[in-house]
Chains A and B, each alone.
Chain A
């Protein structure tokens, strides 16, 4: 039998690797070739045409990708949200009516609201505090690196890590691997089943997101604080301002625009939160949020109409925040 298998036309792993590597090489060469072709055209073109080519080269690929990857799916989602679950017939606003009448939706909207209020404010506050404290330090790099590191971990990875931290062992005779439970037991307290207790569980999930986002807030705000001219701080010191007053009357107003950008960016990320909830509770135990319900409806229960309606609701909820964010970014640019 084994002798037979050797002669079959099956590809060995080495063949597959070789094939994939040659494809990779081909892709790289093609990419280089396209770039060179552009340069070749650019070098042959007249000055007037060059100006025009510049726009073409920078705008066409980006807008094509946007069209394929964003605009088209968004329009299709909008259309699907007015159709039934198999995307065959139009059903008017039924999916939207459904979205706001299921009993589940109150839990989903309440939780999403809790997330949106807590995560951006706490991440930004903690990030700002650390940024301000390390601003005048000799060697802030170590502390900053430690706080920034969770940024590099995916939400699913973070969910898995924290699931271990919150692990609960119902059987007293078995070793407990959960850090929180272990701390409680060491203090002589009875640990709760962390991910089951409502509303504690939602806040425990929120903690994971804050742990990830604080680093981002800290790095951006740190850069903004470094941009405050020394003359301003010195003038405040000469006027006899206490450190605390210096912080909230000088530093914070100077970086107000950046704070808003950080807040709104984290808010957008928080509205979309899905991976943490799906990994840690699967949306059970009243921890469900809108993006997780959207995924569950579309890809678990194969109900494209209702999933799309939830997607559109989320989309509409984010628009004002994005508009505000862009306006603040512009403000910040004009101030500089």
Chain B
């Protein structure tokens, strides 16, 4: 061996040794940081008195896996800061847009997160008996106390309660510009018939399109169409029929469903109301509402969250219905039912499920159902939940305020049907066929028959 070679070898051996030492370091626990349990002077005992129930978990960490990313994520982190400070539990927020694809992989691979925020109850139900830990008695009691009974049902699978409600959204809204309505002397319709009459009036005036609709949403194109269908199903049929429809007891090709689709077609398939019907399928749902802001259309049926998008991307201002002077101001009226006193609400929401049976995880799970946290989070803006203890004074946004009132007082509240239906339909044929219904002018009967044939009866 030459000296050079010997040197190289020696160097290599050193590198091996060094890497082994380093690897040893990396796998051992990181040096303890200054934990929050060392209460600082700024923390008064009064502030922390509210968190006494959660004590005894100092220095623990909980991973929260979710679809919620910045900027919303930082508001969540902020709303939990005091809880962390007082209890010594650190919540590690792990947000990813690949949540739906990654959560089965993590659970199956044995690296399930401590807790996860599921954007829809159907996805949570898949993990019942497959990794999910039932909510403990305290959490369950808290949900009984702070939410209407419907919400608990959505988080329950086969009689076991897993998922606690988190954020909510309300879908039964028609967005409009109060200024445009006031300038033209249009009145807010309170029944479906009035809504169609108003659409006729606007169409006859001829300078503004009555409705703007966009179904486009990447590979989820069509969900806006399913929302229309669900909202009208709640209005033209009773809630019991809606439940049968969602659970599959009422076949998709039933005359009752056909009647509702025909009603939806009165608006969505009427060129006098929506312009070019086929292009609904190629207009993204974000662009769909943009016409309200530039005044090219009068009404847009969409959930509460579209306000934030229109404000951020299209320069809209969310105003109260009384504000008839602001240019580009938008707000909502309730999507009317068959009669003025029939007021069902369609909505959606997130659910928190836990995968680890540790006291600190149960503590966080419980805390997220308390009015205390819900008010803290709502006060930071742009968010609301169905928590009965949520004070509308903490909800600044005029539309969200109305949404909270609807959630707390709705005669009937029903969850987004496509989120609850089997995925073959709810994330498959229902979207696709509603898209084909407008894009290819597929007939009502053919659409319902196609969805019916994919239902896993």
Contact = CB atoms under 8 A, between A and B. Distances in A.
Interface of A: 1, 3-5, 7-10, 22-23, 26, 29-30, 32-33, 35-37, 39-40, 43, 85, 103, 168, 170-171, 173-174, 193, 195-196, 198, 278-279, 282-286, 296, 299-303
Interface of B: 1, 5, 8-9, 11-13, 15-16, 18-20, 22-23, 26, 33-36, 38, 40, 42-43, 77-78, 81-82, 84-85, 90, 100-101, 126, 209, 218-222, 275-276, 278-279, 281-283, 291, 294, 296, 423-424, 427-428, 432, 435-436, 439-440, 450, 456
Contact of A196 (B26, B33, B100, B279): B279
Given A173-B296, A285-B440, A300 B9 contact: no
B296 A174 contact: yes
B279 A40 contact: no
Contacts of A10: 77, 84, 90
A9 B440 contact: no
B82 to A, nearest CB: 6
Given A7-B40, A8-B85, A37 B12 contact: yes
Contacts of A282: 218-221
B22 A26 contact: yes
A185 B220 CA distance: 31
Contact of B19 (A33, A174, A301): A33
A196 B282 contact: yes
Contact of A29 (B18, B222, B432, B435): B18
A32 B26 contact: no
Contacts of B222: 284
Contacts of B78: 1, 5
Contact of B423 (A7, A8, A301): A301
Contacts of B12: 33, 35-37, 39-40
Contact of B281 (A22, A36, A284, A303): A284
Nearest to B11: A36
Given A26-B19, A36-B11, A301 B275 contact: no
A284 B26 contact: no
B36 A36 contact: no
A32 B20 CA distance: 12
State the majority secondary structure of interface residues on B.
Answer: helix
Contacts of A23: 26
Contact of A5 (B18, B81, B219, B278): B81
A43 B11 CA distance: 14
A225 B76 CA distance: 62
Nearest to A295: B219
A35 B11 CA distance: 12
B19 A29 contact: yes
A42 B101 CA distance: 44
Contacts of A3: 40, 42
A239 to B, nearest CB: 58
A302 B219 contact: no
B279 A301 contact: no
A78 to B, nearest CB: 18
A43 to B, nearest CB: 6
Nearest to A298: B101
A171 B81 CA distance: 48
B275 A196 contact: no
Contacts of A7: 34, 36, 38, 40, 42, 85
Contacts of B440: 196, 198, 285-286
Contacts of A85: 456
Nearest to A302: B423
A30 B23 contact: yes
A278 B220 CA distance: 10
Given A8-B85, A284-B432, A26 B40 contact: no
Given A4-B82, A43-B5, A300 B11 contact: no
B424 A301 contact: yes
A278 B90 contact: no
Nearest to B26: A26
Contacts of B40: 3-4, 7
Nearest to A31: B19
B427 A9 contact: no
Given A26-B23, A30-B19, A33-B19, A195 B219 contact: no
B36 A8 contact: yes
A278 B221 CA distance: 11
A303 B11 CA distance: 54
Q: Which one of A43, A193, A300 has the greatest number of beta carbons of chain B within 10 Å?
A: A300
A193 B279 contact: yes
B423 A33 contact: no
Given A174-B296, A302-B126, A32 B281 contact: no
Contact of B84 (A8, A39, A196): A8
17 contacts: A3-B40, A8-B84, A9-B35, A10-B77, A26-B26, A30-B19, A32-B19, A33-B19, A36-B12, A171-B275, A196-B279, A196-B440, A278-B219, A284-B432, A285-B439, A296-B428, A302-B427
Contacts of B38: 7
A129 to B, nearest CB: 34
B279 A168 contact: yes
Contacts of A103: 450
Given A193-B276, A301-B428, A284 B221 contact: yes
Contacts of A8: 36, 81, 84-85, 90
A306 to B, nearest CB: 9
A3 to B, nearest CB: 5
B436 to A, nearest CB: 7
Contacts of B43: 4
A36 B439 CA distance: 62
B36 A283 contact: no
B38 to A, nearest CB: 8
A9 B26 contact: no
Nearest to A10: B90
B278 A43 contact: no
Contact of A170 (B1, B8, B34, B283): B283
A301 B296 CA distance: 37
